[in-house]
Amino acid sequence: MNISRAFLIYRLSVLASASASIRGARRREAAGARIIGGREATDGRYPYAVSLQDSIGHFCGGSLIAPDVVLSAAHCMQTEGGYKVVINRHNLNSTEGEEIVVKTEMTHPGYDWGTTDNDFMILILEQPTTEDADLVRVSPGAVPVDTAVTVMGWGDTHVSDDIQSMPEELMETQVFVISNEECHQSNATIGGTIIDGLLVGGYDEDYHDQITENMMCARDTGEDSCQGDSGGPLVLRQSSGDVQVGVVSWGVSCAHEDFPGVYARVSAQYEWIRNHVCDGSSDPPASFDCKSLQKAEDLGVGGGWTTIINEDFTSNGFGLFDHHGNNGNHYTNAMERAGVVRIANGEGGRSVMQSNQIPLEDTMYTKFRVTFSFYAIGMEDSDDLCLNYEVDDGTISGQKCWSSIRAFENERWYDDMSFGFAAPNVQNMKILISIKGDDVVDEVLIDSVIIQGQA
């Protein structure tokens, strides 16, 4: 079943539970969300585990990674807004803990509804929590195969799709990391009935070509996460403080012997998470080292910059950005500027402008800075403008995003948008500017892109 369709069915209908689906909010009318084969967590053991709740109740999980920032899954996104994060509440039927309204949702710009790739979402809260709740550290490194990790949530505890047994308390279970290669091989027949030793009915499912580098898999016999646990943390328990390595994402069935749970791999998008925490939190944790990130953006201190590219979109149209697949239109003049490119009308609310490859074999640069001018049109509070760089065919990559609600306003030019990064011994580079919104009106104008290097 197509993943995005499974989500729509799950949220809007009363059909029987789909066996293959994302692990999103439980359907209110039927069973679906659960920690399988687990046990009640010790009250207060996972203070960073939070519940996302709307007017009906709990629909997804999340993790507190800063006093006012929650990490969850992109498929938990509620575009209508109006929901809250519940912190430090072990029993959801109690009134303990704190409820804080979500101010801003930011899904990963590379999130794909169809494949659930890059299933990450950052939530900025209206205010920092006043609870004495420990944060979970976000892992910048991949966790080894066979490592024991723990997942938690408030979902149904019965393995059957047709039986609902909802716990009031936070539940946990331990699973073990497997390789993406092993996960990719998963296949089996779902459903059916054994008659005279033969399987009759059912349908075939597999994970072939669905497990990306932004995902990781974990399993154990009879234990698993499932739909309503989505967005919740997969953690490596440590005496010095738990470390989050994954976000509950999707899977075929629940605790099926042939299908592991699939999680968004935190280390794959650590820099994106870090950037948003450093930009959006009023008190980012020291573990994100936001000061060094700011220094990276200010690499120009001391001078010595050499301009590599100065694209003004005048004489050669798209110039460096004359790349197939871009969502752009070129204008000789627009908004009192000569040579302007409009980025808009991309699929899924994401419009991009990617450069061609920039050769740098004979240079000695170890630091780079990208500066561009842009004009926002129709951007809303939840929209992001992002700059991605890819060095040496993806060997090094990174991203810087600016959220509309904090970084800029509509209908004015910004001439000093800048981002710096270190990358020694570079052979080639690509730059991508993207806008991530929720409708086709979201768009920007770009009238210059300058790339500089420093030895």
The residue annotated as part of the active site, out of 58, 75, 108, 256, is 75
Give the span between the Cα atoms of 167 and 405, in whole angstroms: 38
- The residue-averaged pLDDT of 130-137 equals 94
The residue annotated as part of the active site, out of 117, 119, 224, 442, is 119
Give the span between the Cα atoms of 363 and 342, in whole angstroms: 32
Using DSSP, state whether 249 is helix, strand or coil: strand
Rg (CA), the chain: 23
Q: Are residues 126 and 212 in the same domain?
A: yes
Q: Are residues 260 and 308 in the same domain?
A: no
Q: What does the pLDDT read at residue 15?
A: 24
Give the span between the Cα atoms of 9 and 74, in whole angstroms: 17
- The residue-averaged pLDDT of 389-399 equals 83
C-alpha separations of 260 from 20, 34, 257, 263, 444 in Å: 12, 15, 8, 10, 41
Chosen domain end from 234, 253, 288: 288
Answer whether residue 394 is part of any domain.
yes
| Chain length of the chain | 455
Q: What does the pLDDT read at residue 114?
A: 87
Q: pLDDT band for 1, please (50, 70, 90 cuts).
A: very low
- Residue 430's CB is within 10 A of a number of other CB atoms, namely 19
Q: pLDDT band for 156, please (50, 70, 90 cuts).
A: low
**Phi-psi domain of 144 (left: phi exceeds 0; alpha: psi -120 through 50; beta: other):** beta
CB 339 within 8 A of CB 400: no
Q: What does the pLDDT read at residue 52?
A: 94
Answer whether residue 293 is part of any domain.
no
Q: Are residues 254 and 322 in the same domain?
A: no
- The residue-averaged pLDDT of 24-42 equals 48
- Residue 154's CB is within 10 A of a number of other CB atoms, namely 29
Is it the case that residue 23 has pLDDT exceeding 50? no
Q: What does the pLDDT read at residue 3?
A: 35
Query: Domain range spanning residue 449?
Result: 299-454
Looking up residue 50, the CATH number of its domain turns out to be 2.40.10.10
Q: Are residues 258 and 341 in the same domain?
A: no
Q: What does the pLDDT read at residue 12?
A: 29
Q: pLDDT band for 377, please (50, 70, 90 cuts).
A: confident
Q: What does the pLDDT read at residue 422?
A: 83
Q: What does the pLDDT read at residue 35?
A: 54
Looking up residue 384, the CATH number of its domain turns out to be 2.60.120.260
Chosen domain end from 243, 264, 288: 288
Q: pLDDT band for 254, please (50, 70, 90 cuts).
A: low
- The residue-averaged pLDDT of 266-285 equals 91
The residue annotated as part of the active site, out of 72, 186, 230, 351, is 230
Q: Is 230 a catalytic residue?
A: yes
% helix, strand, coil for the chain, step of 5: 15, 40, 45
* pLDDT tens readout for residues 158-173: 445 444 455 578 989 9
- The residue-averaged pLDDT of 284-297 equals 75
For the ranges 83-92, 213-222, 251-260, 319-328, the lowest mean pLDDT is seen at 251-260
CB 52 within 8 A of CB 60: yes
Highest mean pLDDT among 4-8, 113-117, 291-295: 113-117
What would the DSSP string read from start to end of 82-99?
--EEEES-SBTTS--SEE
Residue, of 157 and 90, whose pLDDT is higher: 90
Chosen domain end from 262, 288, 314: 288
Using a pLDDT cut of 70, give the percent of the chain over it.
80
Q: Are residues 444 and 351 in the same domain?
A: yes
Q: What does the pLDDT read at residue 367?
A: 87
Is it the case that residue 98 has pLDDT exceeding 50? yes
Q: pLDDT band for 224, please (50, 70, 90 cuts).
A: low
Q: pLDDT band for 346, please (50, 70, 90 cuts).
A: confident
Q: What does the pLDDT read at residue 14?
A: 24
Q: Are residues 349 and 249 in the same domain?
A: no
- The residue-averaged pLDDT of 87-98 equals 93
Answer whether residue 347 is part of any domain.
yes
Q: What does the pLDDT read at residue 291?
A: 77
Q: What does the pLDDT read at residue 145?
A: 95
Answer whether residue 68 is part of any domain.
yes
**Partner residues linked to 206 by β-bridges:** 187
**290 secondary structure, DSSP code:** H
Answer whether residue 102 is part of any domain.
yes
Is it the case that residue 88 has pLDDT exceeding 80? yes
Answer whether residue 176 is part of any domain.
yes
- The residue-averaged pLDDT of 243-265 equals 86
Answer whether residue 294 is part of any domain.
no
Write down the mean pLDDT value for the chain.
81
CA 69 distance to own-chain centroid: 13
- The residue-averaged pLDDT of 48-58 equals 92
Is it the case that residue 363 has pLDDT exceeding 90? no
Q: Which amino acid is at 205?
A: E
Q: Are residues 62 and 206 in the same domain?
A: yes
Q: Are residues 271 and 320 in the same domain?
A: no
Is it the case that residue 111 has pLDDT exceeding 60? yes
Q: What does the pLDDT read at residue 208?
A: 92
Q: Are residues 158 and 282 in the same domain?
A: yes
| HSE-up of residue 115 (Cα within 13 Å, Cβ side) | 14
Answer whether residue 306 is part of any domain.
yes
Alpha-carbon torsion, ordered 206, 208, 212, 218, to 10 deg: 40
Q: Which of 123, 118, 98 is nearest to 108 (CA)?
A: 118
Q: What does the pLDDT read at residue 421?
A: 83
CB 77 within 8 A of CB 86: no
Give the span between the Cα atoms of 240 and 287, in whole angstroms: 13
**Partner residues linked to 77 by β-bridges:** none
Q: What does the pLDDT read at residue 411?
A: 86
Q: Are residues 273 and 308 in the same domain?
A: no
Q: What does the pLDDT read at residue 130?
A: 96
Number of domains in the chain: 2
Q: pLDDT band for 423, please (50, 70, 90 cuts).
A: confident
Q: Are residues 268 and 337 in the same domain?
A: no
Q: Is 383 a catalytic residue?
A: no
* pLDDT tens readout for residues 291-332: 766 554 455 444 578 999 999 998 778 999 998 889 889 999
CB 421 within 8 A of CB 454: no
Q: Are residues 124 and 191 in the same domain?
A: yes
